[in-house]
Each structure stands twice: as C-alpha cells, then as structure tokens.
Amino acid sequence: MTMIKFPGFPKEPATNYWPYPKALNGYWHILTLSEQAALNYILRHTWGFKKNFDFISYSQFTEGVANLDKGCGIKSDTTLAKALKGLENKGFITRKRFDNQRVKYGLMIATSENGEATSENEVVATSENEVVATSENEDTIKDNTIDILYIYTRILDCWNSQEIIRHRLLTGKMKGAINGRLREKRTVEEICSAIENYAEILKGEDYYFKYRWTLQDFLARGIDKFGDLEIAKTNYSRSTIDGTHKSDNKAPEGKYERFKKR
C-alpha cells in the first residue's frame, strides 16, 4: 500500500481551520491514542460544524463520510468500541441510542454557575453554499460560516440508505429543498428521522401509503406527514380504512382513495 503523504498546513494560521477546545490542554494526557483519534473525529463533526452533537455511525468512524473525510484512522470495531466507552467513562462525550440503532454522540458540556447546561447550537441555511450557525457561545465559536457540503451528504446518504428512490447525485433543486427546511430551523437529525419514518410506513405491510417520492418531493410535500412516527402509523394504518377504528378515524379521501380497494 502506497503511503499517503500530508501536503502541509496552510501558510496563514488564521484561515482554513475549525475551533478546537482549549479545555483539553490539561486533560489530553489521560486519553489513549485511540481515544484521542475518536475524540478528534467527534469534535470535527460537532464543533467543526458549529454544534454539540451529531449522529455518527461506526462505518463513518472507520471509513469516513463520502466527499468529506476518510474516518478517524481506527479500523477495528473492537478498538473503536473500547475507545468510545473510555471517552464516555472519562467524561468527554455522551452517547444516546435510539430504537432504530442510531447513536447520537455529544460533547459533555460544562455546566454554568446555576447548574444549567449550555445551550446546543442551531444551524440555519442562508444560501445554497453556506450555513450560518447561531449560538450564544460566540466567545467559543468565532467563525459563523461553515461548508454545507457535509449536511447535504448526510441527508442524501440517509435518503439512499432507505432504498426508496436512489439518487446518484444531489441536484440544485434538492439542495434548495434542503435549505428550505433548514431555514425552518429543522435539524439534520429531524430531517433524517422523518425520512426513516417515511420508509418504515412505505415498506410496512400494516400501512396503505405506498407512494414513492423523490428526495426533493419528500422535502417539499412529505416531511410534515412523517415527522412523528406514531402519528404517521395512525394516519396510514390499514385498519383505519378497513373500518376497525371508524369511530376514531376517517378514511383518507381524494388521491389516496384508491388504497381502499387494495
């Protein structure tokens, strides 16, 4: 295997960087090399994009995110698991697991004098090419503009992973649809959650809704219908149109009427 040589750092240190926490200066020595690698990766995907948490898969840690990075350098799942557990036990990160097996990694935020945790950052789109981070922690995060490529990639990967209608490339119209939802202050996690809810309803035998949108159409017309999985399950349950719950629900009308006949 040919060794990849680092081309060097930019000449001007005031540009081409992302914020790195000074709080680590007195604690770096208590981390193993694998813990340092994993923590650096989490920091890049959180503070590097002006937020305190992110959904990161094992494959992203080990292989990277398309068009963004090549991972943290750890190739063994066992080593990675040990490193992440160590970071959690030592108080550097938090992990929250969801029913769909997704894991949200967060930075352990220091509490203020009144005992309240500092607020998490929000991300708002301003154009097709950039996103502005809004936060009360401006003394920590100085640069307000970040590359939105990572957000586009995350949402496209989430969509394609559900095998609804796969898109090879992200078009300008798709980017515009994503930006529109980000301007509504929806997070990437909320968008991806709605996509996963839509896929579950679409593929479930207990539900009559079988219309396959493109990503662009879903963001424009479908995301509000599938933001809450339990509500979507109730709205699109076959038992509703079969009359099982007629007293509680009415069968949908209009273009979905044809599903009654299935």
Same domain, 157 and 83: no
CA angle 84, 134, 138 (to 5 degrees): 80
Q: Is residue 103 part of a domain?
A: yes
Sign of the CA dihedral with 235 first, then 236, 237, and 243 last: positive
In order of 3, 20, 223, the CA distances from 34 in angstroms are: 20, 18, 39
**Sign of the dihedral through C-alpha 33, 37, 40, 42:** negative
Element at 153 (helix H, strand E): helix 149-161
- Residues 71-100 have pLDDT tens digits of 999 999 999 999 999 999 999 999 988 766
Residues 163 and 78 in one domain: no
pLDDT at residue 137 in the model: 32
Would 116 be classed as within a structural domain? no
- C-alpha–C-alpha distance, residues 188 and 13, integer Å: 30
DSSP string, 30-90: GS-HHHHHHHHHHHHHTGGGT-SEEE--HHHHHH--TTT---SS---HHHHHHHHHHHHHT
Q: Are residues 152 and 255 in the same domain?
A: yes
Do 34 and 105 lie in one domain? The reply is yes
Please indicate, yes or no, whether residues 94 and 35 belong to a single structural domain of this protein. Answer: yes
Whether residue 202 lies inside any domain: the answer is yes
Residues 99 and 155 in one domain: no
Say yes or no: 86 and 193 in one domain: no
Report pLDDT for 233.
93
pLDDT tens digits, 26-66: 888 999 999 999 999 999 888 888 788 888 888 899 998 87
DSSP character string of 105-122: EEE-PPB-TTSPBPPPPE
DSSP code of residue 2 = P
The answer on pLDDT for 247 being more than 60 is: no
Give Cβ neighbours of residue 141 (< 8 Å, ≥ 6 apart): 19, 47, 50, 121, 133, 135
pLDDT, one tens digit per residue, over 124-160 is 444 333 334 333 333 222 333 345 777 888 888 889 8
What is the per-residue pLDDT across 106-130, written as a single tens digit (0 to 9) for each? 888 876 544 444 434 433 444 333 3
Residue 132 resides in a domain: no
Could you tell me what percentage of the chain is helix, strand and coil, using 3-state DSSP and rounding each to the nearest 5? 45, 10, 45
Count CB-CB contacts under 10 A for residue 9: 9
Say yes or no: 154 and 104 in one domain: no
The answer to whether residues 48 and 102 belong to one domain is yes
Query: What is the C-alpha to C-alpha distance for residues 259 and 253, in angstroms, rounded to an integer?
Result: 10
Res. 67 pLDDT band, cuts 50 70 90 = confident
Look at the chain and report how many structural domains it folds into: 2
Distance of CA 30 to the CA centre of its chain: 29
Is the model's pTM score more than 0.75? no
Residue 32, Cβ neighbours under 10 Å: how many? Answer: 14
Q: What is the pLDDT of residues 154-196, one digit of tens each?
A: 888 889 888 899 898 888 899 899 999 988 888 888 999 999 9
Inside any domain, residue 126:
no
* Any domain includes 20: no
Q: Which domain holds residue 61?
A: 30-110
